[in-house]
């Protein structure tokens, strides 16, 4: 009589089964990729492609998988923020700004030129260009933390540039969206820009100080695990605030993590608890990206050609644009920064969805942009692993002697 | 231009805002209740009543809050299982069985008699009786773990009895549901009973041995945190399996935790990571229970009278029935066991929903059963705290001297 209970709990069981399938697929592919010396991240995204609607059709993206995926990337950036001292980002601020600006202009122009040459309308070309501006810093952060390299100088530049990139991308999207709708309200866009920049700078500057002062009081609360609970509330609170202001929720979560990086430094239990939540939720983020892929528009060979071209331009434009911005660090580090900014992931997917909902791109162009977003996210991790091989080898030499002192880093290094 | 992005991300933001509100309300009320020397659990459920549709209307139960609540109680029972050695449960098996059987018969008969005396139909009376059979062991487990008392002898009896109670409740529900529908298929109900008992006994007996043997191999996997990932998969996997067989998903999660209790004993990182997930998700479980309450049927004074009577009988029947089953332990311990089985929580709510969907109870009776489920869940924790005062005092005396040796227990003791 499972079916009597079934009437009320079938929905709950289907939900649990979907989570189980996503987690099993993600971890099987992660293990396979690790054994092939490829990044687990790429394996988990590919797991989503395989179990998703375009191949096996075992699980489809739904409101719940999207929500868990969003929580996953929010906690991922929160965890990365916890490992990042604000000062370390401010120190590379100028380089990060140059990388971000060039990393916005080059892909936008590249995408626009390609689409115009392909015969697309001006609005279509602008929208594809905008989707190519996006950066999914979560993917790169996960790869770098997996190699224990979150405190490499280029990792700081990538994180800083991703924050600035998000604000710039927001403004480009605003201008392009309103241009597509007919009128550009510069006053409103200026206000949003000021709000977004103000919020980010304010939290980055003041957050750590406020948290450091509040921490001793928080630990005297009667509730269990007060610092962990405070971290959760700060993470969700700044994610919501960022989201209402127009910045990505993950930027708020990253800033929350940074604010706690100093105040909660010594609390290993809190770090491990946060790590548990992140480790549980991130696979849903990665698998959900893979599940978004729609292969049914690729029956038309010209769509395949365009997808490959858009993806190529998307990779080369970020590599050249961001690489040029970091050229003073030498060719290898410039390539690290450039490749680190390549994944478009969920941000590119969101831009594509906005284009579709505004009816400025059709289903085929939507499929092309989705392909670009997923493909860039799959391509970058293996190259990142290669480009950072020297740094990884250096860490492997140091680690055994210094194992006692790097508990937290060691813990995070296993995230990937 | 937040509204351009808004078109695609408003849903995501609303979801994050709902989680934030639930978490803030839960933790504010938990802190208040702790300061009033009341159990945090009751505060968090009351937080749900306050922000839910019946009072402030800030957040309403939705598919996503229900799913997160289900994950929350699954991880709660998984964490409790991690603290429970199978042998400790088997040792109290006979007492637990007696407690469970008397705890099923007494509330069913009590509820049936009350409803018949009130003038309800036979089917209505049977359904209310069935809802009063349910036990929400998560609430009691959370209260006991909050006091560091999960290994008290009566705690073992309550946990064991709750597992048996769930299977018996399932069978009562099956018989009553099919009787309400017109025909009772005893062969099918027998098959389900055999499956449910077989699954539970098999996993309880064999699970720990399989996990202990597999553990050394699992730790050689290349993925990050292999034992934690394995725990997640086992927890979700057995929850899904239990759910398909017809037992509650939380029983599967509890058995998964028990199976890991021996195999992963020494892994403190894994315990803390699991604890982080539990601590993050459990507030959604508690708040979601409170949010279910519907006060709009209480305009009719007779509905209020009936609700109070049903709640009274629900408390007294479990107290007497389960207490009688544990009478050989002495009056105080019998009262601990009886009160530990009082909360109906989400299990009572699910039974009420089934009754409503089968149209055997009307909206008013549904409101009455919901009230009983939430009220018993709010009433039990303060009494549990009083009834276990002696044990808590004993722990407080021992703990300071023995602090180093009880890391895991100490960790769990902060869950509540």
Q: How far apart are CA B314 and CA B343, in angstroms?
A: 9
Cα A167 to its chain centre, rounded Å, is 14
* Contact between A16 and B243 using a beta-carbon 8 Å cutoff: yes
Yes or no, beta carbons of A8 and B353 under 8 Å apart: yes
Please report, for residues B99, B134, B316, B373, the alpha-carbon distance to residue B106 in angstroms, rounded to integers and kept in the order given. 11, 12, 9, 17
Mutate to test the interface with A, among B12, B130, B194, B411 (most CBs of A within 10 A): B12
Percent helix / strand / coil, chain B, rounded to 5: 85, 0, 15
B76 contacts B316 by C-beta, under 8 angstroms: no
User: How crowded is residue A233: how many other Cβ atoms within 10 Å of its Cβ?
Assistant: 15
Nearest CA in chain B to A31: B223
- For residue A275, which residues of chain B lie inside 8 Å, CB to CB? 273, 276
**Cβ contacts of B146 within 8 Å, gap of 6 or more:** A224, B39, B40, B41, B413, B414, B415, B416
Q: Do A275 and B280 touch (CB under 8 A)?
A: no
**CA proximity to B344, closest of B321, B314, B319:** B314
Query: How many other C-beta atoms lie within 10 A of the C-beta of residue A181?
Result: 13
CA–CA distance, A75 with A72 (Å, rounded to integer): 5
In angstroms, the CA B322 to CA B324 distance is 5
Distance from the Cα of residue A322 to its chain's centroid: 17
Q: Residue B266: its pLDDT value, please?
A: 65
Rounded to whole angstroms, how far apart are CA atoms B285 and B332? 30
Report the alpha-carbon distance of residue B77 to residue B92 in Å, rounded: 19
Residue of chain B whose alpha carbon sits nearest to that of A354: B8
**What's the pLDDT tens digit per position in B132-185?**
998 888 899 989 988 889 889 899 999 999 989 888 888 888 888 888 877 878
CA dihedral A318, A321, A325, A329 (to 10 degrees): 60
Residues of B in contact with A274 (CB under 8 A): 276
> Across the interface, which of B35, B67, B232 has its CB nearest the CB of A15?
B67
Global pTM reads 0.88
CB contact under 8 A, A64 and B67: yes
* Residue in B with minimal Cα distance to A16: B240
pLDDT of residue A191: 87
Chain A nearest-CA distance from B353, in A, is 7
Tokens 């049927």 correspond to B297
Whole-number Å distance between alpha carbons of B300 and B272? 49
* Interface contacts A/B by beta carbons within 8 Å: 212
B178 CB neighbours in chain A (<8 A) are 1, 4
Distance of CA B62 to the CA centre of its chain: 20
How far is C-alpha A80 from the geometric centre of its chain's CA atoms?
Answer: 11
List alpha helices for B268-388, DSSP H. Answer: 268-292, 301-325, 331-340, 345-357, 363-387
Per-residue model confidence as pLDDT tens for chain A (416 residues): 333 344 345 667 899 999 999 999 999 999 999 999 888 999 999 999 999 998 999 999 999 999 999 999 999 999 988 988 888 888 898 999 999 999 999 999 999 999 999 999 999 999 999 999 988 888 999 899 888 898 898 999 999 999 898 888 888 888 888 888 778 788 888 888 898 889 988 998 898 889 988 888 998 999 989 999 999 999 999 999 998 888 889 889 999 999 998 776 667 888 999 999 999 999 999 999 999 888 888 888 999 999 999 999 999 999 999 999 999 999 999 999 999 999 998 888 888 888 888 888 998 999 999 999 999 999 999 999 999 998 888 877 765 544 433 333 334 444 43
Q: Which residues of B touch A15 (CB under 8 A)?
A: 67, 70
Beta-carbon neighbour count of residue B198 at 10 Å? 11
Complex confidence, ipTM = 0.87
pLDDT tens digits for range B228-238? 999 999 999 99
Tell me the torsion sign for CA atoms A38, A43, A45, A50: positive
Across chain B, which has 416 residues, the per-10-residue mean pLDDT values are 42 88 97 91 93 93 93 93 85 92 96 95 93 90 89 92 88 85 82 89 89 89 92 96 88 92 76 94 94 86 95 96 94 95 89 86 91 93 92 73 38 40
Q: Which of A6, A12, A173, A188 best probes binding to B when mutated, by most B CB atoms within 10 angstroms?
A: A12
Q: Inter-chain contact A40–B173, Cβ cutoff 8 Å?
A: no
Residue of A nearest to B70 (CA): A12
């Amino acid at each position: 009589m499972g079916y009597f209970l079934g009437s009320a709990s079938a929905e709950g069981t289907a939900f649990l089964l979907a989570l189980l399938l996503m987690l099993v697929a993600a971890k099987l592919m992660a293990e396979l990729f690790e054994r092939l010396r490829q990044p687990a991240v790429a394996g988990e995204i590919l797991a989503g492609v395989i179990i998703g609607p375009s191949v096996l059709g075992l699980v489809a993206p739904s409101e719940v998988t999207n929500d868990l995926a969003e929580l996953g990337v929010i906690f991922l950036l929160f965890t990365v923020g916890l490992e990042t001292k604000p000062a370390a980002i401010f120190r590379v601020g100028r380089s990060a700004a140059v990388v971000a600006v060039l990393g916005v202009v080059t892909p936008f122009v590249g995408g626009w030129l390609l689409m115009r040459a392909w015969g697309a309308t001006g609005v279509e070309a602008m929208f594809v260009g905008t989707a190519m501006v996006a950066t999914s810093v979560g993917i790169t952060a996960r790869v770098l933390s997996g190699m224990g390299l979150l405190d490499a100088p280029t990792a700081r530049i990538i994180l800083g540039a991703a924050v600035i990139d998000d604000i710039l991308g927001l403004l480009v999207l605003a201008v392009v969206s309103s241009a597509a709708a007919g009128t550009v309200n510069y006053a409103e866009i200026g206000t949003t820009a000021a709000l977004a920049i103000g919020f980010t700078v304010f939290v980055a500057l003041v957050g750590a100080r406020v948290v450091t002062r509040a921490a001793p009081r928080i630990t005297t609360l009667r509730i269990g695990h007060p610092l962990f609970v405070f971290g959760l509330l700060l993470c969700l609170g700044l994610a919501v605030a960022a989201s209402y202001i127009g910045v990505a929720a993950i930027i708020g979560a990253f800033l929350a993590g940074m604010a706690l990086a100093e105040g909660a430094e010594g609390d290993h239990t809190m770090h491990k608890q946060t790590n548990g939540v992140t480790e549980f939720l991130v696979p849903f983020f990665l698998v959900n990206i893979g599940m978004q892929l729609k292969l049914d528009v690729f029956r038309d060979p010209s769509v395949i050609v365009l997808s490959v071209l858009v993806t190529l331009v998307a990779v080369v434009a970020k590599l050249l644009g961001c690489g040029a911005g970091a050229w003073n660090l030498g060719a290898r580090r410039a390539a690290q920064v450039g490749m680190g900014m390549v994944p478009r992931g969920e941000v590119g997917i969101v831009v594509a969805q906005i284009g579709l909902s505004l009816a400025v791109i059709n289903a085929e162009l939507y499929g092309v942009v989705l392909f670009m977003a997923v493909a860039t996210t799959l391509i970058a991790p293996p190259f990142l692993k290669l480009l950072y091989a020297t740094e990884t080898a250096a860490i492997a030499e140091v680690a055994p002697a210094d194992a006692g002192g790097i508990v937290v880093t060691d813990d995070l290094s296993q995230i990937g």
